[in-house]
């Protein structure tokens, strides 16, 4: 029989069809305490994570493939100033589900429900749907890229991230010659970029090729929605400056 809990008290372990147990109580504790190592250890090496929200609809979800990439995502989430609370659980054999509430210091709230597919005591697939409050109308919040929350250097470019109002606002500076498949793919580990982007191009020209072979060009002053499964590169001799907005999770 399925087991339900309000998120309080003791959770039994879920028996998968292989007979290997998935320790739900340890998983819940890791979620609420931000124990990244413990969370990542629950995923299979070839696991994938799929997210649907207002920015990435069911027809174009964000998909993260492989435990290493999932670890990068989880570390990014727990780098934010959020309180995590597991509200409810249900388990049934090779499946589990839970709801989670994340709260910022100013009260802005993100709520999600996740479905877990289990095999041999590990998560092989996580499907998450999330929603969040709009920015409080009484609150003005200002970010500064010159004092960004995160900065990452990579070959032929760098990125600066500001967390603001439930969003990650990423300013990417990409030098002539930059190409995702040449300069980021070796670190990411996927053939194509599997993130979803909402872009505003401030300077330069970019080109995208999606997995179906379609190419589109983005010029300064234009905006674009780019689904998972694409390559991207700088066109010409002008440095690209592009803003990429995504939601905190």
Q: How confident is the model at residue 219 (pLDDT cuts 50, 70, 90)?
A: very high
Question: For 55-65, how does the pLDDT look when each residue is reduced to its tens digit (9 = 90+)?
Answer: 777 887 888 88
pLDDT, position 5:
43
User: Which domains are seen in the chain, by residue range?
Assistant: 3-132 (3.10.450.50), 145-247 (2.60.120.10)
Rounded to two decimals, the pTM is: 0.59
> What does the pLDDT look like over 106-118, one tens digit per residue?
777 889 999 999 9
Can you give the pLDDT at residue 230?
93
Conformation bin of residue 177: beta by default, left when phi > 0, alpha when psi is -120 to 50: left
HSE-CB at 92 with a 13 A cutoff on CA atoms is 7
Residue 117 near residue 125 (C-beta atoms within 8 A): yes
Cα–Cα distance measured from residue 74 to residue 249, given in angstroms and rounded to the nearest whole number = 9
* pLDDT higher than 60, residue 9: no
Confidence of residue 181 (pLDDT cuts 50, 70, 90): very high
Residue 192 to residues 70, 178, 224: CA-CA distances in angstroms?
16, 15, 18
Report the DSSP beta bridge partners of residue 99. 88, 113
* Closest residue by Cα to residue 45 from 144, 132, 120: 120
Give the model confidence (pLDDT) of 195-217 as tens digits: 888 899 999 999 999 989 999 99
pLDDT recorded at residue 194: 81
């Amino acid at each position: 029989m399925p087991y339900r809990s309000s998120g309080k008290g003791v959770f039994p372990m879920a028996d998968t069809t292989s007979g290997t147990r998935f320790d739900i109580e340890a998983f819940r504790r890791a979620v609420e305490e931000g124990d990244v190592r413990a969370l990542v250890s629950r995923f299979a090496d070839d696991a994938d994570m799929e997210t649907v929200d207002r920015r990435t609809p069911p027809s174009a979800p964000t998909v993260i493939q492989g435990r290493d990439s999932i670890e990068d995502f989880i570390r990014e989430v727990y780098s934010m100033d959020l309180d995590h609370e597991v509200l409810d659980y249900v388990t049934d054999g090779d499946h589990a589900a839970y709801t989670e509430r994340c709260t910022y210091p100013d009260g802005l709230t993100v709520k999600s429900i996740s479905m877990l597919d289990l095999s041999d005591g590990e998560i092989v697939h996580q499907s998450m749907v999330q929603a969040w409050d709009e920015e409080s109308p009484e609150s003005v919040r200002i970010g500064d890229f010159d004092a960004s929350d995160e900065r990452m250097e990579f070959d032929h470019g760098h990125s600066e991230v500001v967390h603001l109002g439930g969003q990650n606002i990423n300013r990417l500076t990409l030098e002539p010659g930059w190409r995702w498949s040449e300069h980021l793919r070796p670190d990411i580990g996927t053939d194509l970029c599997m993130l979803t982007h909402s872009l505003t191009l401030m300077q330069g020209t970019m080109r995208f090729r999606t997995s179906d072979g379609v190419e589109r060009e983005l010029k300064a002053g234009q905006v674009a929605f780019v689904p998972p499964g694409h390559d991207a590169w700088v066109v010409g001799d002008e440095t690209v400056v592009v803003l990429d907005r995504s939601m905190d999770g």
